[in-house]
Amino acid sequence: MNIEPLIAHSEAPRVDALTGLASRVGLEEHLADLSAAHPPGQPLSLLALELSRFGHVNDSMGAELGNRIIALVARRLTKLFAHAAIVARTHGNHFCLLFKDTVDLHEQIALVQDFTQRPIALSGEVIVLSVRVGAAELGDMVETPSGLLHAAEVALHRAKREGIKRQFFQSDQTSEARLAQQLENDLRVSLFTHHAELHRAITNREFQVLYQPIVDTQTHQVHAVEALIRWHHPRRGLIPPMDFIPMAEQIQVMDVLGSWVLRRACLDAMTLPCDATGVRPGLSVNVSPIQFAEPGVLLSTVKQALSDSGLEPALLKLEITESLSLSATKFGVLDELRALGCQIAMDDFGTGYSSLTQLNVVPLDYVKLDQSFISHIGGPDPVEDQRSDRMTRLVLSLAKALDLTSIVEGIETEVQRDRLRQHGARLMQGYLFARPLPLEDVHEFITRFNQPAQGEEHV
C-alpha cells in the first residue's frame, strides 16, 4: 500500500491522526490528482466500508476502547490489503479501499467481510464486528476518479437503508441520494423555523402526532394509545417515519423532536375519554436511543411534560428499543423514570441480538412482541403457521414467567387475534382494531370501542 507520499508531503488534515491512514481530505485530493492525469482505460475501483453497530461498542465499553479497536482494524486492513493503492479512514467507523489494478471486487468484499468477523480481544473483552460495503468502479456509471468516493458512499447508503451487507453503485442511485440530501436539508430548515414551537410544544405547522390504540381484548376497553409522529412536508406531502426518523437521529435533532412529541402527547392524553369506571387510557411514547445520550435531559423532559399536562405518571409508558445499548448511566435513568411512577416497555421485542439478557436485567414492565412473530399465523403455509404459533407461545410464556405484561403488535386478522387470546395475550395493537389516528378520531374510536352496541361482536 502506498500512502508514504500522502504522509511525507501533507499537512495534518490529509492524514488521520488516530490510524496514520490517509484521511478523507487526503483521499479526495489523491482522487482529484488522478482525475487530472489518469491514463484512459486504466482500472480504478473503490470500496466504502462502515463497521456496523460500532456505536454500541462505544456506548457499552467506552470511547477509549473504541479508538483502540479502530486502530487495530486499520492495522489489519493495511496488512490484508497491501495490494490496495490507498487505505483511508474517512471518518468515525468509516474506511475506504482504493484499487488501481484489475481486481475482482466481489473477492475483495468477501475478504473484508471475512476479516471483520474474526474476533478482536482487547482488555479482557471479545468483540466481533460486522461491516457494510458500498462499491464503485470507473466506467460508464462513474466517469472520473473524483466521482468514485461519492458513488461508493451512495451505494453504502443504499445498503444501510435496505439492511443488506453489500451494494454496487448503480446510476439510478444518484437521484435517490440527491433526494435524500434535499430531504435532510428540509428537515433541518423545518426544525429551525419552528424551533420555539417545538420547545414550547404549542403548535407546529408540519409535524403531527397520531395515536394508535392498544386494546384489552378481555375487558374490551382501550388500554392505551401509542404516540406516532408524522411529517407533512409542504411540497412532498406525507414523509414516512422510516425515511425521516433515522435521518433525524443521524443529524442529531431527534432529541428535539422526541421532546416535542412527549410534551404534545402528554397534553393530548389528558383529553382522552375515560371508560365507565373513570379510568383514562394510558399513553405510550417511543424514546429514541439518541435521547439517552443525555439521561439528565431526558429525565427532566419527562418530569416537565408530566407537570405541564397533569398526566398521572402511571399512565405514561416509555418505549425503548431492544437494540438500545444500556450502560450503567442509562440503567440509572430507567430506574429513576420508574421511581417517578412511569412504566418502561421494550419495543419490537425479539428482533434484537440479546433478548434473554435484556429481559433479565433491564428494569421493564412491558414487552411488545414484534409483528414478525405473528405474521404467518393463519397464513396459507401450515409449516410457517405452526412455527409462528410455537414461537409466539414461547415468548408469551417467557414474559409471564418474568412477571412482564405482553403487548402484541401488528394484529391484522381475526385469526391472529383469536389465536393469541387462546395463548393468554390480552393487549393487542394493529390494523384489525385501528390505524394511527388524529386526536379527534381517536377520541371517537375510544368512545365507540369502550361501549359496544348491544349484541355486538367484540373485535
pTM (2 d.p.)? 0.60
**What domains are there in the chain, each with its CATH number?**
4-171 (3.30.70.270), 183-450 (3.20.20.450)
Task: Summarize pLDDT for 219-259 with one digit per residue, the tens.
Answer: 999 999 999 988 777 666 777 777 667 666 665 667 778 88
**Residue, of 454 and 110, whose pLDDT is higher:** 110
Question: Quick one: cell of 332?
Answer: 440509572
- pLDDT band for position 329 (50/70/90)? low
- pLDDT band for position 2 (50/70/90)? very low
Across 272-283, average pLDDT:
91
Across 70-87, average pLDDT:
92
Percent of the chain at pLDDT exceeding 90: 37
pLDDT at 199: 37
Cα gap 426→219, rounded to integer Å: 9
Average pLDDT, the chain: 81
**Residue, of 250 and 42, whose pLDDT is higher:** 42
Question: Quick one: cell of 183?
Answer: 430531504
Q: Is the pLDDT of residue 289 over 60?
A: yes
